[in-house]
Chain A
């Protein structure tokens, strides 16, 4: 415990792991479990590594929490609070809730990394091939592969890291979820993670519901089924008091809309309520029909819904913009977490107060004045020169006042000198005669060339035909792939020399293993397939040479090392 300087968010005592009692720690970055007798964490999982949490069903005798990792393994924690099952349940739920909040953030970070890697692979087909050869075939693990790429691609990574512009949500995203009839009296909705994310961004109420209910009350699928069945999704909703999961959300929305409206301290030129300068009672003036909406509740609620929907879409993209521009961590770009959102709204609140029709503010807002000025100005009636221009900011004023310093007179080259130099060069060129006495005669040159051409005396060792006509395209590609993969591995291998420290030594050992694996898993099968096709096995001679050189080097290093170890 002393090892960590991170903030501990939650400590739960009496948690059993692998039949040993201990405490469960939830920290900002990871989850850890400590044996009661020791003072180091025997289990520690970074949230980013956690794929999923699972809980024991309500009726079961043991109150457990299972952590599934991306790698496939899992840890099970049993809650054994001596106060009995209710408090055990409470402990478990506390851990679960916190994890539920924490995991999505880290998941998105993990996703983010994955996304980036994916992008790199897509952009670079060679790399992709290499990845396929090395990782997919099991020569290297993915981590090794990416570790080795890290330094190489640091530049491109940086470029990827710099916050781009957040993308907004299309206003019509809901239309992408077209229901399809599945033939047996049902409809099918196709949801993609993108759409789900969009729904969450636009309708925070749904997101909240999702967090609350999934996975302990409903499964993911059930949740979305209910969503599509709900009145909430169908926008001609009126609160008929029907009991579905989203009735409450609709009410919340209603409230949000009202708040938005109450925040009416907007641009004073757009505030319709403040337009007229009349404060008479209702009874005065002719009553007109235009001011009334229809009696049809459904229609007017659809209109309301659209306004709300589009407002949300707009604010969602604004949030994305503002957070990304503030260059905070990448995860907030994907899911604007609550603190950020809060900050944002408070900020706009502030601005709004400032802009508002200054009922109580002391100074008339300058922004209002600026708006007025803008509204009355006619740009084309003004002359050009009215613009003030940008003021010049100088860090060192002396440079500005003295101007550029004249260069030293001695270094100056006068135009005459340049002209003279040109003349000299021209004359020299004119008088140039090549000295050909050292060159072979034409005949010798021609014969050497012909000897060196395919079919010539000096080319006897190789085949008569050029390589590319001999072998099929597939084979050529295969060979080139082998070369790329091998040279990549060899690059790592050779980069370990001289072996100056422990890590390099470890890497060298690992690379040696990898090369051997390469030889056994890739090269030998390839040779065999060549043999099957009755092709010359000497195609791979050079590859063998390369490997042999590496193995020899390793062997000599190894013997030297063991020798040194012995002495």
Chain B
């Protein structure tokens, strides 16, 4: 249908539309008009992505000068593939409606592992190995060598791409990862570099967060993207953690030892080159005098990871004199590594600021701040000069160099913690140096500054005002949309006590209480008995889950569950979990039904959807608070309090509740879907916790559902399931939660629509 969104003609590829989709588009358009940023929360499964794409594509076509590009960031590979698929659907609709071929070019970009078509390299399982192998075939000096000695292997696909790919470009259309691979195979071009090159002029780019947020990758990939772009962070409820991750580093003693070995290897290499090709080292020295930047320009295959420091902070100066010489640099590095080793040799926890670290390193081993800042760049230059191909082996020393650059660049918003041992195993010495970023806004700030509009959106962003605070930006619109429903297809409730009236909670003091564990078990047994197909449970941590499973086994609860359904459990091992998930799906498909025990913040909760029969009920066992004894967290909380005036408890609750909402929200997709959401902890019923749940969940949480016992929960869910089993037709939805074009344009609907939106 063709919509009129505040004067903009939008083609929407469906016959019907949800009211909130229309409102979402309207809000989005406003912020695009204002060239500002926005925070939009819309319930999961209400077609956020297609609304976004429809509006922005229409905007791109209508105002090609004001907005040239859409950069769509998602979290996981399957998600970004879904986005591209939806884009395809939209562009097909455009072509069908207008009758001519659209000249929109959209594509996905992913790591080499997902795009490589080289027969040998693509066989590697780990992304790192693929990167390294690719590098060894495509680095500029390898290719130079090849010109002299044809026996040196190179990647044909890259050669072909480099030869012709840049001139004859991809024709307009939408390319998913597989399409890129097909195109690559057909033309003999490397899909990865083709995609990386194409995002420069494509209208729509879909890739994962890291390509924009992690400066090490963004500097390589996203540097050239135009300012007149709209950046969308979908599933952005966790964006602050991605930001923090991208600037944090941790170093163990093992990696230091390996770094030492690396330095030795480099030394040997240098000695050898000195004998054979001393010119090369001299060249490098000269180049470094002139400055690093121009030397490495336009050689995108050489760098594996860029400087960890942000594009703004690009170093314009020449490399300091004391590390220009390759040997000097190496001895500098080994001094640094030795110093770090000494620092790790401690008995107690040390926590200090980067400034005091710098002071200490200057006092102890006379390393100044300036050469430290150039560490990462200088190492890149060295590997280039030495023409090293297997960069994978050098990763420990690269890590140390990156750390050096980070610690000397940022004095604020970072913290350095050295722990001599793990808290759980205080007898085993395993020192770790954590250099952690505490301020999410550091990594994301350049993006807000650089791009015209940034859209932060997710199904669960409540409370909305938290995100502008922790990301330090000023949005022009902040809105939360409710879900209009013809039948209440979600059933959130709080189970606060067991049948024996013992209150259930995962509170630290009572989490080991046998009564609590038994009550949790009974709840699951009852639910597995009355809910069909899939039931997903989330625990607060692996350790808690494991201990509960063990005591359930002893109490015979596991057997009771297994009488009703099959049982699968997430483990810390990703491969094992994948198999368990796969089997869970199979069991849900073939009608046996299954229970999946999983962990909030775990991999499953972050990336797997449990729509329709894969998740008819979700049980949240306890409030998923982050492990509060972690020193890194404590430092961050302190920082947040001092810098952003966010109280510790507020942040912890916010963080716990967003994860809880995220877990339960996975069960719902679309208005024909339905699901039970059980929050099994009495603390959920407190206003400060409940109030932080997304509005669309809160609205369905009636007061009568706030303090239920296990029996009552089962009664309510039985009733709910009976209601849901009644036939549900389009006519029931139409005019209320589903609109035709005429209904959308009627006057009284406009008024109704305004009620679905809540501005903060």
A residues contacting B by CB (< 8 A) are 168, 170-172, 174-175, 235-236, 257, 260-264, 266-296, 298-300, 302-304, 306-307, 310-311, 313-314, 317-318, 321, 357-360, 362-364, 368-369, 372-373, 375-376, 378-384
| B400-434 contacts to A (CB < 8 Å) | 402, 424-425, 432, 434
**Interface status of B507 (Cβ within 8 A of chain A):** no
Can you list 28 A-B contacts with CB-CB less than 8 angstroms, sorted by A residue number?
A171-B563, A171-B566, A260-B579, A262-B575, A268-B78, A272-B578, A273-B578, A274-B77, A277-B76, A277-B111, A277-B208, A277-B210, A278-B208, A279-B111, A280-B128, A283-B396, A285-B250, A286-B244, A286-B437, A287-B632, A296-B547, A298-B550, A306-B569, A311-B580, A363-B182, A380-B738, A381-B15, A383-B16
Given contact pairs A271-B578, A317-B592, A372-B85, A293 touches B126 in the complex (Cβ within 8 A): no
- Does B245 contact A286, Cβ atoms closer than 8 Å? yes
- Distance in Å: Cβ of B125 to nearest Cβ of chain A: 8
Given contact pairs A174-B559, A275-B77, A284-B399, A364 touches B182 in the complex (Cβ within 8 A): yes
| B580-609 contacts to A (CB < 8 Å) | 580-583, 585-587, 590, 592, 594, 599, 601-604, 606-609
- Does B562 contact A283, Cβ atoms closer than 8 Å? no
- Distance in Å: Cβ of B80 to nearest Cβ of chain A: 7
- Does A266 contact B114, Cβ atoms closer than 8 Å? no
**Interface status of B627 (Cβ within 8 A of chain A):** yes
**Interface status of B542 (Cβ within 8 A of chain A):** yes
- Does B574 contact A379, Cβ atoms closer than 8 Å? no
B residues in contact with A376, CB < 8 Å: 49-50, 82, 85-86, 89
CA distance A209 to B47 in the complex (A): 55
CA distance A276 to B208 in the complex (A): 8
- Does A375 contact B82, Cβ atoms closer than 8 Å? yes
- Per DSSP, chain B at the interface is helix
- Which of B399, B547, B632 meets A299, CB within 8 Å? B547
Nearest CB in chain B to that of A298: its residue: B550
**Interface status of B262 (Cβ within 8 A of chain A):** no
- Does B592 contact A277, Cβ atoms closer than 8 Å? no
CA distance A261 to B125 in the complex (A): 13
CA distance A268 to B76 in the complex (A): 11
Given contact pairs A172-B559, A293-B546, A277 touches B568 in the complex (Cβ within 8 A): no
CA distance A306 to B561 in the complex (A): 12
- Does B16 contact A380, Cβ atoms closer than 8 Å? yes
- Which of B76, B86, B599, B672 meets A275, CB within 8 Å? B76
**Interface status of B481 (Cβ within 8 A of chain A):** no
- Does A302 contact B733, Cβ atoms closer than 8 Å? no
| B534-566 contacts to A (CB < 8 Å) | 541-543, 545-547, 549-550, 553, 556, 558-563, 565-566
Given contact pairs A175-B559, A175-B563, A279 touches B82 in the complex (Cβ within 8 A): no
**Interface status of B494 (Cβ within 8 A of chain A):** no
CA distance A311 to B580 in the complex (A): 8
- Does B546 contact A303, Cβ atoms closer than 8 Å? yes
**Interface status of B219 (Cβ within 8 A of chain A):** no
- Does B546 contact A294, Cβ atoms closer than 8 Å? yes
- Distance in Å: Cβ of B366 to nearest Cβ of chain A: 26
Nearest CB in chain B to that of A352: its residue: B582
**Interface status of B670 (Cβ within 8 A of chain A):** yes
- Does A281 contact B395, Cβ atoms closer than 8 Å? yes
**Interface status of B68 (Cβ within 8 A of chain A):** no
Extra inter-chain contacts (14) besides given A306-B568, A310-B562, CB under 8 Å: A266-B582, A274-B77, A277-B80, A279-B112, A279-B131, A282-B255, A286-B245, A286-B436, A303-B549, A311-B580, A369-B178, A376-B50, A380-B16, A381-B14
- Does B14 contact A277, Cβ atoms closer than 8 Å? no
- Which of A289, A358, A379 meets B178, CB within 8 Å? A358
**Interface status of B452 (Cβ within 8 A of chain A):** no
Nearest CB in chain A to that of B545: its residue: A303
- Does B575 contact A314, Cβ atoms closer than 8 Å? no
B residues contacting A by CB (< 8 A) are 14-18, 47, 49-50, 75-78, 80-82, 85-86, 89, 110-114, 116, 119, 122-123, 126-128, 130-131, 176, 178-179, 181-182, 185, 207-208, 210-211, 214, 216, 244-246, 248-252, 255, 305, 395-396, 398-399, 402, 424-425, 432, 434, 436-437, 541-543, 545-547, 549-550, 553, 556, 558-563, 565-569, 571-583, 585-587, 590, 592, 594, 599, 601-604, 606-609, 627, 630, 632, 670-672, 730, 733, 738
- Distance in Å: Cβ of B671 to nearest Cβ of chain A: 6
- Distance in Å: Cβ of B255 to nearest Cβ of chain A: 6
Name the residue among B208, B558, B562 with the largest chain A CB count within 10 angstroms.
B562
- Distance in Å: Cβ of A550 to nearest Cβ of chain B: 57
- Distance in Å: Cβ of A307 to nearest Cβ of chain B: 5
- Does B608 contact A381, Cβ atoms closer than 8 Å? no
- Does B122 contact A359, Cβ atoms closer than 8 Å? yes
- Distance in Å: Cβ of A362 to nearest Cβ of chain B: 7
CA distance A384 to B738 in the complex (A): 14
B residues in contact with A299, CB < 8 Å: 546-547, 549-550
CA distance A411 to B558 in the complex (A): 74
CA distance A363 to B185 in the complex (A): 10
Given contact pairs A279-B126, A295-B424, A314 touches B18 in the complex (Cβ within 8 A): no
Given contact pairs A276-B208, A369-B178, A171 touches B567 in the complex (Cβ within 8 A): yes
- Which of A235, A282, A285, A290 meets B245, CB within 8 Å? A285
- Does A275 contact B603, Cβ atoms closer than 8 Å? yes
Name the residue among B78, B185, B207 with the largest chain A CB count within 10 angstroms.
B78
- Distance in Å: Cβ of B359 to nearest Cβ of chain A: 24
- Does B546 contact A278, Cβ atoms closer than 8 Å? no
A residues in contact with B81, CB < 8 Å: 372
Given contact pairs A171-B563, A379-B670, A380-B738, A257 touches B568 in the complex (Cβ within 8 A): no
- Which of B249, B577, B670 meets A284, CB within 8 Å? B249
Nearest CB in chain A to that of B181: its residue: A364
CA distance A210 to B601 in the complex (A): 44
Nearest CB in chain A to that of B182: its residue: A364
B residues in contact with A172, CB < 8 Å: 559-563
- Distance in Å: Cβ of B304 to nearest Cβ of chain A: 10
- Distance in Å: Cβ of B184 to nearest Cβ of chain A: 12
CA distance A302 to B207 in the complex (A): 39
Nearest CB in chain B to that of A283: its residue: B399
- Distance in Å: Cβ of A525 to nearest Cβ of chain B: 52
- Does B399 contact A311, Cβ atoms closer than 8 Å? no
- Does A307 contact B578, Cβ atoms closer than 8 Å? no
A residues in contact with B568, CB < 8 Å: 306-307, 310-311
CA distance A286 to B251 in the complex (A): 10
CA distance A159 to B2 in the complex (A): 59
CA distance A313 to B116 in the complex (A): 38
- Does B579 contact A264, Cβ atoms closer than 8 Å? yes
Nearest CB in chain A to that of B607: its residue: A275
- Does B578 contact A290, Cβ atoms closer than 8 Å? no
- Does A277 contact B572, Cβ atoms closer than 8 Å? no
- Which of A277, A283, A293 meets B571, CB within 8 Å? A293
Nearest CB in chain A to that of B84: its residue: A372
CA distance A375 to B563 in the complex (A): 31
- Which of B585, B604, B627 meets A289, CB within 8 Å? B627
A residues in contact with B122, CB < 8 Å: 359-360
- Does A276 contact B77, Cβ atoms closer than 8 Å? yes
- Which of A281, A289, A364, A382 meets B541, CB within 8 Å? A289
Closest CB pairs A-B (n = 8): A279-B127, A364-B178, A175-B559, A171-B562, A381-B14, A383-B15, A172-B562, A277-B208
A residues in contact with B244, CB < 8 Å: 286
- Does A311 contact B583, Cβ atoms closer than 8 Å? yes
- Distance in Å: Cβ of B732 to nearest Cβ of chain A: 10
- Which of A168, A270, A273, A304 meets B608, CB within 8 Å? A270
Name the residue among B210, B305, B580 with the largest chain A CB count within 10 angstroms.
B580
CA distance A299 to B179 in the complex (A): 45
CA distance A177 to B255 in the complex (A): 51
- Does B566 contact A294, Cβ atoms closer than 8 Å? no
Nearest CB in chain B to that of A276: its residue: B76
- Distance in Å: Cβ of A350 to nearest Cβ of chain B: 16
- Distance in Å: Cβ of A325 to nearest Cβ of chain B: 13
B residues in contact with A363, CB < 8 Å: 182
